[in-house]
């Protein structure tokens, strides 16, 4: 079974609409709702998590403990940091890092203990890759963008790096 973790309400609502999920198919759990679909012989478990690291970690740990998930895909939108990529490009991170776990004034922004390498070898090379950075705040200020870009991040969000850390 493959878990599809979706943070925001509007992204989950769009998923419900895309798959034409009826109210009867939606099951409530402590972090939101989930539903299942079969595709290409695989069971997919789509679930809402709520935004930010604590919600993402809690919801994913809940699902990992209750379902036989063989992988978790964090699906959704993020901030584009690397200027080589365009809006709507799909990025599959090779690394996930939490960048709000340091004292920036005296430590590097990206500490090795908060970086997770993700093995993409079995998925081919038919996609863009890079490093996703996660913090409990959105990238909205120009100086934040510059700092992340200068530290080699490709994209940024508020959940994926923390979820990778527990998976």
For residue 14, what pLDDT is reported? 96
**Is residue 36 pLDDT above 90, yes or no?**
yes
Asked whether the beta carbons of 7 and 76 are under 8 A apart, the reply is yes
**Is residue 167 pLDDT above 80, yes or no?**
no
The third-level CATH classification (topology) of the domain covering 79-166 is Rossmann fold (3.40.50)
For 112-143, give one letter per residue: b (16+ CB within 10 A) or e: eebbbebeeeeeeeeeeebbbbbbeeebeeee
pLDDT in tens, 16-32: 999 999 999 999 999 99
**Is residue 151 pLDDT above 90, yes or no?**
yes
Q: 20 is written with which tokens?
A: 């034409």
Asked whether the beta carbons of 76 and 11 are under 8 A apart, the reply is yes
pTM above 0.95, yes or no: no
The DSSP string of 46-95 is EEE--SSHHHHHHHHHHHHHHS--SEEEEES--EE--TTS-TT--EEEEE
Sequence ranges of the domains in the chain: 2-75, 79-166
* Residues whose CB is less than 8 angstroms from the CB of residue 74 and which lie 6 or more positions away in sequence, other chains included: 5, 7, 56, 157, 159, 160, 163, 164
pLDDT in tens, 50-79: 989 899 999 999 999 999 999 999 998 888
Average pLDDT, the chain: 92
Q: Where residue 40 falls among pLDDT bands split at 50, 70, 90?
A: very high
**Is residue 10 pLDDT above 90, yes or no?**
yes
């Amino acid at each position: 079974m493959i878990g599809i973790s979706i943070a925001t309400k509007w992204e989950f609502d769009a998923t419900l609409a895309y798959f034409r999920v009826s109210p009867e198919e939606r099951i409530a759990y402590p972090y939101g709702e989930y539903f299942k679909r079969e595709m290409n012989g695989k069971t997919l478990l789509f679930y809402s998590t709520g935004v930010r690291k604590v919600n993402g970690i809690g919801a994913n740990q809940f699902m990992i403990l209750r379902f036989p998930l063989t992988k978790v895909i964090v699906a959704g939108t993020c901030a584009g940091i690397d200027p080589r990529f365009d809006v709507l490009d799909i990025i599959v991170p090779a690394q996930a890092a939490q960048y709000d776990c340091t004292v920036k004034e005296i430590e590097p922004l990206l500490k090795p203990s908060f970086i997770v390498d993700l093995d993409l070898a079995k998925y081919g090379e038919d996609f863009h890759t890079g490093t996703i950075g996660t913090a409990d705040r959105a990238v909205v200020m120009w100086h934040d963008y510059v700092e992340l870009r200068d530290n080699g991040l490709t994209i940024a969000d508020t959940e994926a790096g923390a979820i990778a850390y527990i998976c």
